Chain A
Amino acid sequence: MKAIWIIISKNLKHQLKSPIFWLILIAFPIAQLTIFSSLFSTAQVVEQTVVKLTQLYATDTVFTFDRFAIIVLGQFFLIGSIIASSYLVSEREDRTLMRTFTLPLTKAQIFSGHMLSLIMLLLLVITIIMIMGSLLFNVQWSANYLNLFIVTVLCAFLSSSFGFFISSVFKNGNMFGGIMSCTVILMSFLNGDMTSGKLLFRNSDFLTLNKWITSSYTGLNQGLGLRELALDITVIGALGLIFAGAAIALFRKENLHE
């Protein structure tokens, strides 16, 4: 357990020192929310003065901003997993992963250390985005904090295992970054995040991780309980386990360090 914590603390320390972490994972989503927020408030003012806004429409608008916040959150689960797991690729490129394999540690300890640090980092990023979203833009993520916590942990697990899996497949950092970025962009298109909710083809969103993440957060936002979100949660958990299983299988390969 101690060895796992040594790996976690080293990874977290490294990531938190990185300007990329603060710039892309914290400043960028907050900036995105700020822009969306100003667009929505401008739209509201225009509607109120020119068209006479009804109470129902105002409620819809608030809900729509929350929807955008959820989409941003969903994207940053995946972007966070790219940035955090790219560190694993550089560990392999720098041969430091190989050096840890020569130490009296099991591969399970090394895997757990890296995986848990990925999950913790994502949880940190998402928590900061959520708190800032709530404080600065009044986003109502959920009224039930326990449910919010459970869903967030599951989504962090899914994103981390996905990132870990992809980082175990590609040996080259540039290739990994490129493929992961394309995957995230493709998922955003398939999910309709980049086309105002329009899907590329029928049920194309089912092929994305965003769909299940945003769907569960939307449910929480609308006040649904875990029972009503059973399908989303089950899919998120199952996909997380599948990717984690695949990542473990790749991690067990003897030439992973090369």
Chain B
Amino acid sequence: MIEFNNVIKRFGSTIAVDNLCLRINTGEIFGLLGPNGAGKSTANKMLIGLLKPTSGSITVNSLDIAQHGLKTRKHLALVPQELAVYESMSAQENIVFFAKLAGLKGKELQNKTDNALDFCGLLDYRYKKVKTFSWGMKRRLNIACAIVNEPQIIIMDEPTVGIDPQSRSHILDSIQTLNERGMTVIYTSHYMSEVERICDRVGIIDQGKLIAVGTTAEIKSRLNNQEKIIVQTLDINYAALDEIKKLYGVENAVYNGYQLEIQTAAVKNNVLDALTVLAKHNVQLLKIELEKPTLEDVYLSLTGRSLRD
């Protein structure tokens, strides 16, 4: 089990992580969500020992990482956001180098290297230089280097950035397989669909503070009283849009690209009222959908819609 106890991390006058209290259970896939600069990577880096907390403590299996850094790092591995592999070396040389440093040797080193290459779909490219790899292959190698010594806990910091859907799907399936083998996974991403697909629990962090934590269902239930009416239409006039916005229970209405999105507080008759207004203004309807709030809606409602740096 991993515990962040009142962890604060300051960089000069900036507070990157503000009094973080979080528990991640053994064997779960925990999703860490947040805008850029929210403090996710800083939290991950503190856990792996790259950064030291300004105050507070982090424990891994009841061992304080400040006092037992080496011991805890034997059970942890990081898949960094950026590629961290030697481009001039082959895939196998990369994996073997990091595996040896992690303490593997002999037959075990050979077997686990083969397993990692196979697991990441790189067995056929083991002797090829990394600089000849596609971006997706490099990302998979980035993962292979981290999992080769089969750590108990793996921290994945946006491992699917900039890759094609096939590689992304492969990586997500791999994460689930690793988890089924007993690995605890901390998964940081901006892609809500990925988090919803693979994570057992999710934490949303913003401006260094943990603002929500729970299962995806629990988090989504925060907006349970809301729903979205999506109307596809070829055109709408501003008078109709204004009238809809003024309806009781309607929180917002936006028309964008032949699609009208009406955010409602799930009040009875909202759909009917909206349709009545559209009919009154002779708006031609193509399709109507009702949508329950997604994780992205909750995320945006908690972290706001303003752009971040």
Q: Does B74 contact A (CB under 8 A)?
A: yes
Cβ B88 vs Cβ A14 within 8 A = yes
Given A104-B103, A257-B50, also A99-B78 (CB < 8 A): yes
The proximity string for B residues 55-82 relative to A, scoring 1 for CB distances below 8 Å and 0 otherwise, is: 0000000000000001101101110101
Q: Out of B48, B52, B86, B87, name the residue touching A102 (CB < 8 Å).
A: B48
> Within A209-258, which residues are at the interface with B (CB < 8 Å)?
254-255, 257
Cβ B87 vs Cβ A10 within 8 A = no
Cβ A102 vs Cβ B73 within 8 A = yes
Instruction: Label chain B's interface by main secondary structure.
Output: loop
Q: Out of B50, B73, B82, B97, name the residue touching A104 (CB < 8 Å).
A: B73
Q: Out of A17, A95, A105, name the residue touching B84 (CB < 8 Å).
A: A95
Q: How many residues of A contact B (CB 8 A)?
A: 21
Count contacts between A and B, CB distance < 8 Å.
60
Cβ B101 vs Cβ A105 within 8 A = yes
Given A95-B82, A98-B80, A99-B78, also A254-B102 (CB < 8 A): no
How far in angstroms is the closest Cβ of chain A from B148?
11
CA distance A134 to B87 in the complex (A): 38
Q: Does A94 contact B (CB under 8 A)?
A: yes
Q: Does A57 contact B (CB under 8 A)?
A: no
Cβ A104 vs Cβ B145 within 8 A = no
Cβ A254 vs Cβ B51 within 8 A = yes
Cβ A3 vs Cβ B101 within 8 A = yes
CA distance A7 to B78 in the complex (A): 19
**Most chain B C-beta atoms within 10 Å of own C-beta, residue among A3, A94, A99, A105:** A99
Name which residue of chain A comes closest to B94, CB basis: A96
Given A94-B86, A94-B87, also A102-B70 (CB < 8 A): no
Which residues of B lie under 8 Å from residue A106 when comparing CB positions?
70
How far in angstroms is the closest Cβ of chain A from B173?
24
> Within A91-120, which residues are at the interface with B (CB < 8 Å)?
94-96, 98-106
How far in angstroms is the closest Cβ of chain B from A7?
8
Which residues of B lie under 8 Å from residue A104 when comparing CB positions?
70-71, 73-74, 102-103
The proximity string for B residues 24-56 relative to A, scoring 1 for CB distances below 8 Å and 0 otherwise, is: 000000000000000000000000111110000
CA distance A100 to B52 in the complex (A): 17
CA distance A6 to B85 in the complex (A): 16
Which residues of A lie under 8 Å from residue B86 when comparing CB positions?
14, 94, 96
Which residues of A lie under 8 Å from residue B88 when comparing CB positions?
14, 17
Cβ B97 vs Cβ A10 within 8 A = yes
Q: Does B83 contact A (CB under 8 A)?
A: yes
Q: Does B98 contact A (CB under 8 A)?
A: yes
Q: Out of A6, A14, A17, A102, name the residue touching B78 (CB < 8 Å).
A: A102
Which residues of B lie under 8 Å from residue A105 when comparing CB positions?
70, 101
> Within A56-98, which residues are at the interface with B (CB < 8 Å)?
94-96, 98
Which residues of B lie under 8 Å from residue A257 when comparing CB positions?
50
Cβ A96 vs Cβ B84 within 8 A = yes
Given A104-B74, A106-B70, also A98-B84 (CB < 8 A): yes
Which residues of A lie under 8 Å from residue B87 when comparing CB positions?
94
Q: Out of B52, B85, B101, name the residue touching A254 (CB < 8 Å).
A: B52
The proximity string for B residues 248-286 relative to A, scoring 1 for CB distances below 8 Å and 0 otherwise, is: 000000000000000000000000000000000000000
Q: Does B23 contact A (CB under 8 A)?
A: no
Q: Out of A6, A96, A99, A254, name the residue touching B100 (CB < 8 Å).
A: A6
Q: Out of A17, A95, A103, name the residue touching B73 (CB < 8 Å).
A: A103
**Most chain A C-beta atoms within 10 Å of own C-beta, residue among B51, B77, B86:** B86
Name which residue of chain B comes closest to A110, CB basis: B101
CA distance A99 to B79 in the complex (A): 9
Cβ A99 vs Cβ B80 within 8 A = yes
CA distance A245 to B253 in the complex (A): 64
Which residues of A lie under 8 Å from residue B78 when comparing CB positions?
99, 102
CA distance A257 to B76 in the complex (A): 18
Which residues of A lie under 8 Å from residue B80 when comparing CB positions?
95, 98-99
Cβ B145 vs Cβ A99 within 8 A = yes
How far in angstroms is the closest Cβ of chain B from A217?
34
Cβ B101 vs Cβ A96 within 8 A = no
Cβ A254 vs Cβ B97 within 8 A = no
Q: Could you list which residues of chain B lie within 8 angstroms of chain A, going by C-beta atoms?
A: 48-52, 70-71, 73-74, 76-78, 80, 82-89, 97-98, 100-103, 145
Given contacts A95-B82, A96-B84, A99-B84, 6 further A-B contacts (CB under 8 A): A94-B86, A100-B98, A101-B50, A102-B48, A102-B78, A104-B103
**Which 5 pairs between the two chains have the least Cβ-Cβ distance?**
A95-B84, A99-B84, A104-B73, A104-B74, A102-B78
